[in-house]
Amino acid sequence: MFDMRYHIASLVAVFLALTVGLLLGTLIVDQGLLADQQEALFKSIRADVNKINDRNRELQREVTGLRDFQKQVLPIMAEERLAESSTTIVTLTADQDGLANEIAQALALAGAQTSRIALDMKGVDLDGTPYAQTLLDSSEEGELSGGELEKQFWRRLAAEIAGNEPPGLLDDLTAAGLLSIDTTSSQRRDIVVLAAEDRSLGSRDILFLDALAELEGVNVIAVESCEWKPSRIAAYKLRDVSTIDNVDTVPGKISLIYLLMKRDITAHFGVKSAADTSMP
């Protein structure tokens, strides 16, 4: 009886050892397969990344080449297209000088004379200031207040910029340090307005563009760079003005020259959703 129990215990021990061995073997095999799979996946990902990097370098070379080509093409496309013409560039905030200078350089390639009007639109205050009083004194509609005063202010300023009215507001705003003009020319018929990027301006830029668009014989073009967000071009497009949303690029500058040549059309060029087409 003792021998049978010992024999049974031995058999159980053997089966347990076999079971443990099978389990350990299975785990080792599974781990080996998992390691192989991980290595294969890593190699696949690394190959894909290398392909993407190679493609990115190729695209970067193409972009660099395209930009160099565009820089060479711009003077050829622009040459004397705007000879004996004059364009006024209007900025609405202090941070727009760089883009304004870039636009002026492009128009100079086309033979155009440019002048600048820098307006601190945000700083304009219509509550008891001398320039507000100038507007009230010249108004034929009696007492003005609120929204109507704001509308009349931008209408009067637009008319003075175009040379349709004597420069009363222009002088007052200059004296207040809110406006600067680098030319004595009184007649301004081609006006390029850089889009307002400052949301705190509210609808002032819209009122200003509306006022300019109402002036007979004045060609108004509202522009912004590719990087400006949020874009104002969609709102400007609803006005009776032409727009360009990528004026910082060579295609955008060519579009601007085209619109200054074709004063009788209204068009919307660029790369953003509000544009009708990329360029003429």
Can you tell me the distance from the alpha carbon of 224 to that of 196, in angstroms, rounded to the nearest whole number? Answer: 8
Comparing CA positions, the residue from 127, 117, 204 lying closest to residue 162 is: 117
Comparing 26-35, 209-218, 265-274, which segment has the lowest mean pLDDT?
26-35
Question: Which of the pair, 150 or 277, is modelled with greater confidence?
Answer: 277
The pLDDT score that the predictor gives to residue 58 is 77
Can you tell me the distance from the alpha carbon of 223 to that of 220, in angstroms, rounded to the nearest whole number? Answer: 10
Segment 234-240 mean pLDDT: 91
pTM of the model: 0.76
Can you tell me the distance from the alpha carbon of 274 to that of 242, in angstroms, rounded to the nearest whole number? Answer: 12
Segment 160-181 mean pLDDT: 91
- Across all residues in the chain, what is the average pLDDT? 84
> Please, where are the H alpha helices in 79-195?
97-109, 130-138, 146-162, 168-175
Domain-by-domain residue ranges, the chain?
A: 1-78, 80-269
The pLDDT score that the predictor gives to residue 78 is 78
Can you tell me the distance from the alpha carbon of 160 to that of 202, in angstroms, rounded to the nearest whole number? Answer: 22
Q: In what order do the strands lie in the sheet with 190-194?
A: 179-181, 113-119, 86-91, 190-194, 219-223, 242-244, 268-269
Question: Which of the pair, 34 or 93, is modelled with greater confidence?
Answer: 93
Segment 226-250 mean pLDDT: 92
Task: Quick: pLDDT tens for 129-158.
Answer: 887 777 777 665 556 666 788 888 999 999
Q: Does domain 80-269 have CATH number 3.40.50.280?
A: yes
Element at 219 (helix H, strand E)? strand 219-223
- Cα Rg of the chain (Å, integer): 35
